[in-house]
Structure 1
Amino acid sequence: MSVNTVEIDKVLERLALSNEKRFNAFQVASLANESDPLEVNEYLLYKSEGKFGALTAKIETLCVNNHPDKHFELGTVLPNYEVECRICDSEYVPDLEFAHLVFYFREVYKQEIEKKNDEIQNESGKDVLVPPMDEFMTLARLLQSQQLCIVNGGIHFMNGEKFSFNNVNNPVNSAVSFGDESPNTVINVYKQDVENVTNDLLALIESEISDSKVKNELRELIEGAALESGSKEPKPAILRTLIDGTKGIMTTIVKSPALLDAYEKWVQFLQDPPTL
């Protein structure tokens, strides 16, 4: 199953413009009319990756009375001792079943959205009625679906470039080593190449396209596709959706031969990854 990333991005813009501080995949899925919050969560995780990321993903623990409490960055080892809830003062040991993933906007993304204020309001209005956060995307569920994993005790995004995962062959909490012959070497080089060709394309888009709305939409789609293609296990459906979104714009609006040539090179590069 794939998700409509364009609609999800529009929801994120409206949430940012409404100054929404904290949200999860269930809320975004509801607003975007998506039926699979797990797929939406994966896309939000991609949006939180690397320097192009618009979001920050955080682990939020729940106390025994279901109050949202402590926050931890991805990669953090959860405490194995009792902590005190900031709301009800109850003591509890953080647990995977009672910890979930929430997202926050990065400041640079919010600043960009403020610049697009008029465009967003004209298209869909500023006000957005956010459903309550009454469902949680638990770490246990995300570990089971392999969106997240545990390495050296810390919770990590499954497609993080610094880790290699071979399902049952790598035991939980095991360290991962690298070598010149490791597939990770190929992946990291490829990710750098993806970043380079993407930056070249984005630079041309910045100089050749004057329409800020078209420019921003292309940038979001291209950055999302680059992140997906450079991940450890890219999802073909998500990548295809993102690239198709760029094609519709490029083929109908762009006239610059240099930009079209760079775009074709970028598409070919993303669709022809190295064989491991």
Structure 2
Amino acid sequence: MAIVTLTTDLGYRDPYLGIVKANLYAKIKDITLVDLACDVRNNAISDAAFILKHSLTYFPKDTIHLVAVKLIVNNSQLNQNNKGIDNTRYLLTKYKDQYLICLDNGLISLIDEAFSEPVYQIYFDNKEQHQFFMKDVFVDIAAHLSQKKPIKDIAAVTDDYYKAFQFNSYKNEDQLRGKNIYTDDYGNVITNVTREDFEKARGKRNFSIILPGAVIEKISDTYDDVKFGEVLAMFNSFGLLEIAINGKSAYQMLHPRQIGKEFDFNLLIEFE
């Protein structure tokens, strides 16, 4: 049985997603489809990368992940040292024993900035397939892989693909600076500050997480550690620092702002 996941910005209102699924059912006899995220917001490839990165470990070997999210990364993520985004080039790779099919738009490097597995450019001749590539290209590739056929029959190795920068937390002696990298549908703000980075920077010192309109001085274990409507900070199941409000959306509490001259990160933790 083939397991195929879908991560896309097609959404659920229009017929496109259903057409893709129908084509998958038609071309792969024994298949389980998983909607990983089919309404990725604002064509945000960084959101798609976050979703894939933190979901892969839950899927078995040889799962096929179809990722059809076009365009766009934040301008500050553009890497001037390599080629630009090309939404008409399609890539295939195997990562953590699973297949990943995506556009040439930085997704691979956003999933893992140290990515070192072979990356393949997919062959196809019909330019009309660009119009609905998820149905006309990605489904055929998934069908090929589900039959355990060689990658070399449909793609060639390439190192000429777009690489985007990841946002990393920054620390000095008394501060740790981070950024909102994902906001879930509950309005919980997930940052790029890991538990490891936080504990290493903190040592045994007290800390203050400084937000617009609030200061947090303790780490909670659950959302219910505070009263309804109160703000909290916790390390989530991904090991990342999350800002939340019990029963409400915390999204408005973090917003882009200038911290110093070189960073536009929007989370500041001070130690003393």
Q: TM-score, normalized by length of structure 1?
A: 0.25
Between the two structures, name the one with larger relative contact order (CA 8 Å, sep ≥ 6): 1
Higher strand share: 2
Structure with more of its chain in helix, by fraction = 1
TM-score for both structures, normalised by structure 2: 0.25
